[in-house]
Structure 1
């Protein structure tokens, strides 16, 4: 049986699985062909029909190169500010290295960049003698973390259709609502899927222009800052937080917690008095709920 007849005899599903293994291997086409041969008992000559003088390997490489180019384009679309900062060549270098270690495993490309910021962090060399990373390096990491948080907030299942804005507004204006929050354990705080909390190494206002498609001329000096990425009425935005706001919300990020527990957690990290933190939370949280940042529930 010649190659053409053998190819016709193969099932479409078998050819598809062979081609997927061959063209998507993180080690490149040669490694993919070896794996595809082991899994499906086929070689390139038995599957790829080419005219005389045409290299089957080169023909298949078009699909393999196109697959990786498309994945890199997806990362470029999700991290446009980081792309501008690093430049196309350096960004693509890191993107290809990342995809080699974290190949796409999901039918949805929304999960592709989930570990990109962590990969960039672990790919950096540790400075000698315990020195700190350069501001430029940590600035790029903050950008990557912010852009991923923005993407996750935008794609998460939101509460826009569930919120009763009229009731939320009246509750915020009701003095009994404030007294209920002061009761500490009478109310539970949780975060919607659309909220992300980040502790930054650089001031949020230095990062904001990059997120808006511009470039900041401010020096990328170290400055601890806290932000929340939130979504309200389908619009994603970044909000700066005080330290007590950040640590109170972070306590409720994993599981719903009473306001008293959140106040105690923030007090431990900021050394503010627990009662003072609780009072500030009671004043701030109703507005935070209206903006889509948090969820409050009566116990």
Structure 2
């Protein structure tokens, strides 16, 4: 059993764990890549051969990662069922092995993986059934990121002192977004569907409807707000900094709505946006 090259052994073991195929195929791949045979790395004994010991470890490794993904995507697990979720999760782990020691990063590419690997259906019902898992995953990942990224906790987020109602739109007023804010545009109203599905698993699949979501956090509590297209464009524009007026102009250009109309909408919407932790005014 080799002990003189830990980095090489670690690379060999990673190849065995994340390569596709049965154990024999994995060992062939690892031997070709790193020049190490099983007997040089894993000792037998205690009533189990080296092959059996490695097989148990490899299976356990994947199952632990699948369990982590289930924790990150509980609504998706409930929708797909544990068995079907595990099939896609195992394929994902092999396709995109962990590249960070922090397990909260594990599911970062899972929504895109589901989108890329979904079957294609011609009829609307089949399209929704196969497209919905990726949409649910995007929503759940946005929520997990909103819970862990820095927010506005402990900071004043209200109206800039001295500004009246019209002061929201003053030239000197700028908008700051929290790092925890996540903006998602989904093909379905996923939050409404998940709420209904949680109460009744026989809930019909939703009809396609473009849904703009702003996911954030207030006092360490998650907030989810559906926003209009102009508000979504406004928030996207605010990511680049600048004044409220500049974000209004960008939203107007993106949506085709008049800037004066967006200014009027803002008079009513900004207090809600502040309350939900989507932004603060400076």
- TM-score, length basis structure 2: 0.85
Cα distance in structure 2, aligned partners of 1:213 and 1:154: 24
Counterpart for residue 140 of structure 1 = 133
Query: Cα deviations across residues 15-71 of structure 1 (Å, max 9, x unaligned)?
Result: 852663354233254454345445654322233322397432111111111111111
Cα distance in structure 2, aligned partners of 1:216 and 1:182: 47
Within 5 A, what are the aligned runs for 1:67-106? Answer: 67-106=61-100
Query: Cα deviations across residues 124-174 of structure 1 (Å, max 9, x unaligned)?
Result: 24445x98962222332221111111111111122313x13xxx44x36x6
Return closer, same or farther for 1:121/1:133 CA change in 2, 3 Å cut-off. Answer: farther
Matched, 1:197 2:180: no
Return closer, same or farther for 1:217/1:241 CA change in 2, 3 Å cut-off. Answer: same
Matched, 1:268 2:268: no
Cα distance in structure 2, aligned partners of 1:178 and 1:216: 47
Return closer, same or farther for 1:25/1:225 CA change in 2, 3 Å cut-off. Answer: closer
Q: Secondary structure at the match of 2:178?
A: coil
Q: Provide the aligned C-alpha RMSD in A.
A: 3.0
Does structure 1 conserve the Cα–Cα contact (< 8 Å) formed by 2:9 and 2:41?
A: no
Query: Cα deviations across residues 83-119 of structure 1 (Å, max 9, x unaligned)?
Result: 1111122211111222222110101011111111111
**1:284, distance to aligned residue in structure 2 (A):** 2.6
Cα distance in structure 2, aligned partners of 1:269 and 1:197: 16
Of 218, 233, 244, 1:232 maps to 218
Counterpart for residue 293 of structure 1 = 278
Q: Secondary structure at the match of 2:163?
A: helix
* Equivalenced residues, count: 281
Runs of 4+ in 1 over 4 A off after TM superposition: 38-41, 130-133, 210-214
Counterpart for residue 256 of structure 1 = 241
Q: Secondary structure at the match of 2:213?
A: strand
Q: Which has the larger radius of gyration?
A: 1
Of 245, 269, 276, 1:284 maps to 269
Moved more, 35-44 or 115-124: 35-44
Residue segments in structure 1 that go unaligned for 5+ positions in a row: 1-6
- TM-score, length basis structure 1: 0.81
Cα distance in structure 1, aligned partners of 2:163 and 2:35: 73
**1:219, distance to aligned residue in structure 2 (A):** 3.9
